[in-house]
Structure 1
Amino acid sequence: MIFDPVNDENPICSAKGCRAAAVWVLAWNNPKLHTPERRKTWIACDDHRQHLADFLDVRGFLKEVVTLTEWNARPGGTA
């Protein structure tokens, strides 16, 4: 399913050029730039989740992959 326009109710995948609905949150941080507890996020569709996770993981940045629903249910959790 593709959503447009982009807004908080219809988040789209962070992969370049992708307009598919995001269903995953990839939490990461760059230890050279961020404190250990800081989490940056990319959101991904099913098709790009593994590619984006691999990109972050090979650099040692990936901390966690969870569903967007689970992430948003956490206190302060907005991707």
Structure 2
Amino acid sequence: MNIFDLAGGDPAPAETAAPMCSRKACRSGAAWQLLWNNPKIHTPERRKTWLACEEHRLWLEDYLQTRGLWKETLPLDLAPVADRDS
């Protein structure tokens, strides 16, 4: 909750916007969650989330796998988005 919720105004745009792909400059709707963590700074159970459209799913997976960060890819509708990092 924030101060704007108390005023009864419209929800913030970020709360109503459709999930978008995390690939730089892509504005397509997301269909996938790429779960990852950086073992140098995150605990093993922590999962960060990038969102991917159909076109960029493999590119983002490869980026994370090459760096040893990728854990799992799930359809966006199967599990809630935890942390969205662009």
TM-score (normalizing by structure 2): 0.75
Please state if 1:31 is matched with 2:70.
no
Identity %: 51
Q: Which residue of 2 aligns with 1:57?
A: 65
Root-mean-square deviation (Å): 1.7
- Following TM superposition, where does structure 1 have runs of at least 4 consecutive aligned residues deviating by more than 2 angstroms? 5-9
1:30 and 1:8, CA in 2 relative to 1: closer, same or farther beyond 3 A? farther
Q: The residue matched to 2:79 in structure 1 has which SS?
A: helix
Cα pair 1:26 1:64 within 8 Å, conserved: yes
| Unmatched segments (≥5 aa) in structure 2 | 1-12
Aligned residues: 71
Q: Choose from 13, 22, 26 the match for 2:30.
A: 22
Q: 1:68 to 1:17 in 2, by over 3 A?
A: same
Distance 1:60 1:27 in 2: 12
8 A Cα contact 2:49 2:82, kept in partner: no
- Report deviation, 1:71: 1.7
TM normalised by structure 1 equals 0.81
1:11 aligns with 2:29: no
* Conservation of the 8 A alpha-carbon contact between 1:29 and 1:36: yes
Query: Structure 1 residues 65, 57: CA separation in 2 closer, same or farther (over 3 Å shift)?
Result: same
User: Which has the higher Rg, Structure 1 or Structure 2?
Assistant: 2
For residue 7 of structure 1, report the CA deviation from its aligned partner: 4.5
| 1:58-73 superposed matches below 5 A | 58-72=66-80
